[in-house]
Structure 1
Amino acid sequence: MRIMYLLFPFILLLAQGAAGSSQTLGKREQCLQRSGFCSFLKCPSFTLISGTCSRFHVCCKR
């Protein structure tokens, strides 16, 4: 029974992480639909930031 106290919070953390990853996929899809692309931290030269794809990725447009 003691292991249940340790197992329950671990399961909740896994469920919380799974919920966040599906939101990231939605943002990435929206960026691609708007003719953009995802880049790590900053956009390359001659492109503008038009949103975010995830925590460390931004949506860039030419």
Structure 2
Amino acid sequence: MRILYLLFPLFLLLVHSAAGSSLSPTNKKQCEKENGYCGFLKCKFPFVIKGKCSRFFYCCKNLWG
């Protein structure tokens, strides 16, 4: 029972690091590497915004894959 107070912070640390592992694309190179394209302000239909390429360009990736 004494070790329980030590395991809880370890668990929180693991959850916190796992949350940052699935970052969305942040530039054009990453977007194209993940089979996306950079669209100006919006994406055309079957594509949705999944990240940013630059200030006004968003990474568009296919909705179904």
| Alignment TM-score > 0.5, same fold | yes
Q: Aligned Cα RMSD in Å?
A: 1.3
Q: CA deviation at 1:46?
A: 1.4
Match for residue 36 of structure 1? 36
Q: CA deviation at 1:34?
A: 0.5
User: What is the TM-score when the length of structure 2 is the normalising length?
Assistant: 0.54
Percent sequence identity over aligned pairs: 46
Match for residue 22 of structure 1? none
List 4+ stretches of structure 1 deviating above 2 A: none
Whose helix fraction is larger, Structure 1's or Structure 2's?
Answer: 1
User: What is the TM-score when the length of structure 1 is the normalising length?
Assistant: 0.56
Match for residue 49 of structure 1? 49
Letter in 2 for 1:47: F
Q: CA deviation at 1:51?
A: 0.2
Kindly provide the CA deviation profile for residues 3-59 of structure 1, in whole angstroms up to 9, marking residues without a partner as x: xxxxxxxxxxxxxxxxxxxxxxx7100000011000000001111111000000000
List alignment gaps of at least 5 residues for structure 2: 1-25
Residues matched between the structures, number: 37
